[in-house]
Chains A and B, each alone.
Chain A
Amino acid sequence: MSAFMLLSTAIAALTLCSAVMVITSRVPIHAACFLILTLVGVAAEYVMLEAHTLAVLQILVYAGAIVVLIVFVLMLMGSGPNDEEPVGLGVHRAVILGGLVVAMVSMGYAGVHGWITRPFSVALQVLALVGSVPALLLVPGPEEEKARKGSFRISVGAVLAVGLLVFLGQALRVEGGAAAASAAADDYGTLAPLGELLLGPYVFSFEIISLLLMVAIVGAVALLRRREEASREEEVKE
């Protein structure tokens, strides 16, 4: 197991844990802070994948613009009484869904690597999928269960930890893997080839994106115009 694997697995674990915190935090501002941590973790994974331009853009666009916008609106609304309510899905159902995802992924992984035959892995996946339906229906829903605060977070964390441990165990056993990375070109992930593509063959989609952003800005302004101003303008017209 190389240093590359160790580092990228550690970053992945950190990113996944902060993603769990994003969707389980009861205080929205905390969720926004953990969202920043998640996005920076993804940017770090981009660096591990030698996509340096995208890593910089990830931090600029997501952590720098989108999260700031979200935090701004959170501050505007006040993060007091209207947040949270226990989770709508219920602890038991959420854990079953998380376990289903882990089971599906590990079966697929084992099938791809040939530890079990592919039809067998597909059969196991179908079995897990079919079996989870009655399990979801049978366990108590969110209304019946009195979920203790934080127990959901612990259970999602446990499912994730088991999944990561399984992955680490397999990574220690297997050298290589499905898509072993080999050396890339010198200018891979730098700005130059991206810029040439953006203003060359993909110039049309580039312009479409700029048009989309323009429409989004105008749409946001139109949505948020005060009603009084609109009615006043109508009076003027009449």
Chain B
Amino acid sequence: MTGSLDIFLFLSIGLFSLGALGVLMRRNALLVLMAIELMLNAVNLAFVSFARSWASADPGNADAAQVFVLMIMGVAAAEAAIGIAIVVSIFRARASVSVDEPGELHG
């Protein structure tokens, strides 16, 4: 395998930007959650590609980077569970999943 790792970093940037754009644009809370998953995946991809670029020079730390990706996956799973629970309880209370609608805490 030869070649540059730049394309992976480009993909990572693209996925993160699209995820951020999705969080800003969409009003359906579940789609906002999906966009957050996109951003977490972009970060993971950056971790894995930098780990690959260090795989021959510093194998120990390259493996540690992959452990870090596992940690992020665990946090993402917890985030999805809690996020969906919040969305469902908001949906129960007001029969809508728009992120613009709940505003009782707005001062």
- Determine if chain A interacts with chain B: yes
B7, A194: Cβ atoms closer than 8 Å? no
Nearest neighbor of A55 in chain B, beta-carbon distance: B48
A-B pair count, CB < 8 Å, reads 258
- What number of B residues sit within 8 Å (CB to CB) of A? 70
A132: chain B residues at CB < 8 Å are none
**Interface segment, A62-70, A114-122, A123-131, A230-238?**
A62-70
A202, B27: Cβ atoms closer than 8 Å? no
A158 interface residue (CB < 8 Å to B): no
Proximity bits, B71-90, A CB within 8 Å = 1, else 0: 10111111111101111110
A73: chain B residues at CB < 8 Å are 30, 84, 87-88
- Known contacts: A53-B66, A188-B55. The answer to whether A181 contacts B15 by CB under 8 A is no
A210: chain B residues at CB < 8 Å are 74
- Chain A residues touching B, majority SS: helix
A216 interface residue (CB < 8 Å to B): yes
Binding site for B on A (CB under 8 A): 1-2, 4-5, 8-9, 12, 15-16, 19-20, 22-23, 28, 31-32, 35, 38-39, 42, 45-46, 48-51, 53-54, 57-58, 61-62, 65-66, 69-70, 73-74, 76-77, 82-85, 87-89, 94, 97-98, 101, 105, 109, 156, 160, 163-164, 167, 171, 174, 176-185, 188-189, 193-194, 197-198, 201-202, 205, 209-210, 212-213, 215-217, 219-220, 223-224
Binding site for A on B (CB under 8 A): 1-8, 10-11, 13-15, 17-19, 21-22, 24-28, 30-31, 33-35, 37-38, 41, 44-45, 48-53, 55-56, 59, 62-64, 66-67, 69-71, 73-82, 84-89, 91, 96-98
